[in-house]
Structure 1
Amino acid sequence: MRNLTPDRGRQETWKVAPQRRTTSELDTETVQRLVQSLDRSLVASGFSPLEGGSTEVYRIDLVGSDRNPLVLKIYPDEPEWRPSKEILVAGWLKGLTPPVPKWLRVDESRTVLPLRFALLTLLPGRSLRHWMAEPGIDQAYRQMGELLRRIHSVPMPAYGYVLGHGIDKPRSTNADYMTAAFEDVFRRFRDLGGDADLGRHCSTWPKEASISWPKATVPYSATTTSIRAMCSRRMAASAAFS
């Protein structure tokens, strides 16, 4: 069994954001307890950190040619609903091609690790950032667009922000959802001490601009980006003069 120490020897030419630490360094004994919490017959042969993501994620290799590697994902304490949300969304997308990871175990007991964790299946491949300078990268972008279209085609029962239990404060139309979202943003702007008149003025734009909100399955509109940008510039100017 090879040394269970994260492999950090290889140097890459590109720069990545600092990894967000959520717990102490893993060791041989801890990794072995993690995999055996899933199946007592599993034996870990090594592990290494995976790049990207909002928290710590590791690849765990297993002894045996018939054993596929696992992914360990460690969750911070907040938000409390994140593990449940990820399992829920993965279930919604399980029919997609390429496939999404499968959550094999979620442990929120904090008995094996000081924080919550999940063990998942590993999807093969490397991050797209490794291929940015390669010829034909435009084909990868086309494939990403095709995948995004398939994600947007997944039917949903309502519009709203997804939490662990499902859609929070569901709305029947995209227009209702986007209007409520803007109203909430500008209300918080005023509550935090922003210019009240400016906040009220910006909050009327989605209604008065005669925007035709798209009837997309997933509530998103490029129009929202432009409105937020305009309001952000005016709010920044107001803050600067204040």
Structure 2
Amino acid sequence: MSDDPPLQLKPRLEISIDQVQAIIDRVAPGSPVAAITELRGGEISTILEITRADAPSCILKVYPAQLQWKMAKEVYVLGLVRDAGIAIPRILMADDSRALIDFNFVLMSKLDGVVLGNREAALTDQELFSIYAAMGAALRHINGITLDSFGYIGPHGVWTSHPTNRAYMSAQFERKLTEFCTRGGDEALAARLRAGILARSVLLDAADTPRLCHYDFHAGNVLVTPEGQPRLTGIVDFENATAGDPLMDVAKALYYFTPKDAPKRDGLLAGYGASDRSDWEATIALYRLASTLELWCWFAQIGKMDALPKITEELERAANTLA
């Protein structure tokens, strides 16, 4: 069992109007700040809406002390997506000097719309299918961006470079299985999972070009029109992006869906378009296991121990399926 303290997320930020005004003055001198509102969402960072008296609102995103490098990563990835034909925030300022506040931060434009997750409960199945189809099409655009190698993206490009998708994902599986055991997971279960993953690793060979994956594509990171038939107005939060197999991105997007979410699943897959890989469903199942392992390790890392038994049950089911 690891003795490391839980990772501290969401900076406990006490920020004054004067500090925010100093930030705004760097990009729009003399534009008065009217209000500061902390927004919900964003598991890692603190996200504030800055309302200005004479100009559109903007977003201040502040990164926790242990993950300050994610600021530069998000700036880098947004640069990659800038010409992908989808609405994304525009970076107004990125600061790692700690001169204005004690954390790295970005100031970015505020996109129109509301978080899709806040509207879903009131939408019909047809509306859910339609908006998720638009999301699927947008995800396909993101996945159309190629990179030089497979691996996790860091502040200035691929951080852990691998020549093939199999090499990258094999390293990821092994790293997470090791962490699973270090953080108290059952070693026998890890061994069963390792054997099943190895037996199916040939599925990872079909992805021969590293492509940009958002890898956190869900209703909390998608903005839509606030009323009427929902239309996609923007996509945010690229700080988990990786260079990998597009099916890994699809698998992560489908991860939290339950049987009652069939309109969402069907819409996303319809909008994304057919895969030319005959084994795509088996590959998505393997990537779902990767997401489950990551989630288990993440919750253990941040001290969310009460969530682990349910995820362990899913890992047990996966091990039985792989056997």
TM range (shorter): 0.7 to 0.9
Listed as ranges, the matches of 1:205-216 within 5 Å are 205-209=196-200, 211-213=202-204, 214-215=206-207
Structure 2 CA distance, aligned partners of 1:148 and 1:59?
26
Distance 1:189 1:61, change over 3 A: closer
- 1:114 — aligned with what? 102
2:43 matched to 1:43?
Answer: no
Q: Structure 2 counterpart of 1:222, which letter? A: I
- 2:46 — aligned with what? 56
What secondary structure, in the 3-state scheme, does the structure 2 residue paired with 1:212 have?
helix
Q: CA deviation at 1:169?
A: 2.2
Q: Structure 2 counterpart of 1:104, which letter? A: L
Q: CA deviation at 1:227?
A: 4.3
Do 1:48 and 1:60's aligned partners in 2 also have CA atoms closer than 8 Å? yes
Distance 1:202 1:236, change over 3 A: closer
Do 1:108 and 1:115's aligned partners in 2 also have CA atoms closer than 8 Å? yes
Do 2:177 and 2:194's aligned partners in 1 also have CA atoms closer than 8 Å? yes
- 2:132 — aligned with what? 141
- 2:11 — aligned with what? 22
What secondary structure, in the 3-state scheme, does the structure 2 residue paired with 1:78 have?
helix
Listed as ranges, the matches of 1:227-238 within 5 Å are 227=289, 232-233=312-313
Listed as ranges, the matches of 1:1-242 within 5 Å are 21-54=10-43, 55-64=45-54, 67-132=55-120, 133-135=122-124, 136-191=127-182, 199-209=190-200, 211-213=202-204, 214-215=206-207, 217=211, 218-219=244-245, 220=248, 221-225=283-287, 227=289, 232-233=312-313
What secondary structure, in the 3-state scheme, does the structure 2 residue paired with 1:97 have?
coil
Do 2:150 and 2:161's aligned partners in 1 also have CA atoms closer than 8 Å? yes
Q: Structure 2 counterpart of 1:59, which letter? A: E
What secondary structure, in the 3-state scheme, does the structure 1 residue paired with 2:60 have?
strand
Q: CA deviation at 1:118?
A: 1.5
Structure 2 CA distance, aligned partners of 1:85 and 1:154?
16
Do 2:71 and 2:155's aligned partners in 1 also have CA atoms closer than 8 Å? yes
- Count matched residues: 216
What secondary structure, in the 3-state scheme, does the structure 2 residue paired with 1:169 have?
coil
Q: CA deviation at 1:183?
A: 1.8
Distance 1:32 1:206, change over 3 A: same
Structure 1 CA distance, aligned partners of 2:77 and 2:288?
28
What secondary structure, in the 3-state scheme, does the structure 1 residue paired with 2:129 have?
helix
Q: CA deviation at 1:126?
A: 0.6
Distance 1:52 1:157, change over 3 A: same
Structure holding more helix per residue: 2
Deviations 1:140-199 (CA, angstroms, capped at 9, x unpaired): 111111111111111111111111132122112211211111122223345556665654
Give the root-mean-square deviation of aligned CA atoms: 2.9
Q: CA deviation at 1:204?
A: 3.2
- 2:215 — aligned with what? none
Identical pairs, percent? 23
Q: CA deviation at 1:81?
A: 1.2
**Normalized against structure 2, the TM-score is what?**
0.59
Structure 2 CA distance, aligned partners of 1:195 and 1:134?
41
Do 1:69 and 1:122's aligned partners in 2 also have CA atoms closer than 8 Å? yes
Structure of greater Rg? 1
Distance 1:76 1:137, change over 3 A: same
Structure 2 CA distance, aligned partners of 1:52 and 1:70?
16
Structure 1 CA distance, aligned partners of 2:196 and 2:33?
57
Structure 2 CA distance, aligned partners of 1:191 and 1:204?
19
